[in-house]
């Protein structure tokens, strides 16, 4: 899959906090239309008291070549309403997006998103081309 491959699909991700906070896994559903990205994110995260809770967010952003940027805005579930900016780069095979997330003037960290189906789809496509 080339770097210009469409990003539409299900992505598994992980973002890390600064310090001793545990990393958080998430599932993102991306829809790419032209240069625009939209979608949703579901994650299990720790609240301010250290309890684990389910939270949901919408995603809106853009892609320019290998540069991917979007804003994740929580929907209010469990009191989460803030927005988080993500800036990353798409891998050459269009199966990974890695970079930095930030809540301006609060904190930031790293993130990685992997599209497991991307590698499998490439292998299947290559296999079918040989038939």
- The half-sphere exposure of 127 on its side-chain side, counting CA atoms within 13 A, is 6
Structure tokens at 56: 């949901």
For the segment 32-57, the average pLDDT, to the nearest whole number, is 91
DSSP run (H or E) holding 66: none
What residue has token string 């970079």? Answer: 99
pLDDT tens for 60-110 read 999 999 999 999 999 999 889 999 999 999 999 899 999 999 998 888 999
Please determine, for residue 10, whether its predicted confidence score (pLDDT) is greater than 70: yes
- Residue with the larger pLDDT of the pair 120 and 42: 42
CA distance 84 to 28: 14
At residue 51 the predicted structure's pLDDT band, cuts being 50, 70 and 90, is confident
In this prediction the pTM is 0.84
- Cite the DSSP H helix spans in the chain: 116-130
Q: For residue 81, count other CB atoms closer than 10 A to its CB.
A: 11
- Model confidence at 129: pLDDT above 80: no
pLDDT at 47 over 50: yes
- Lowest mean pLDDT across 50-64, 93-107, 111-125: 111-125
Report which DSSP code applies to 6. Answer: -
């Amino acid at each position: 899959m080339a770097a210009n491959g469409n990003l539409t699909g299900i992505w598994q991700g992980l973002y890390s906090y600064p310090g001793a906070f545990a990393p958080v896994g998430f599932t993102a559903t991306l829809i790419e239309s032209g240069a625009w990205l939209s979608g949703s994110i579901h994650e299990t995260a720790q609240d301010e008291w250290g309890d684990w809770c389910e939270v949901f967010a919408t995603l809106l952003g853009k892609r320019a070549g290998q540069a991917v940027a979007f804003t994740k805005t929580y929907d209010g579930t469990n009191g989460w309403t803030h927005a988080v900016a993500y800036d990353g780069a798409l891998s050459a095979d269009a199966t990974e997006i890695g970079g930095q997330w930030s809540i301006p003037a609060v904190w930031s960290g790293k993130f990685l998103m992997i599209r497991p189906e991307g590698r499998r789809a490439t292998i299947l496509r290559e296999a079918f081309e040989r038939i």
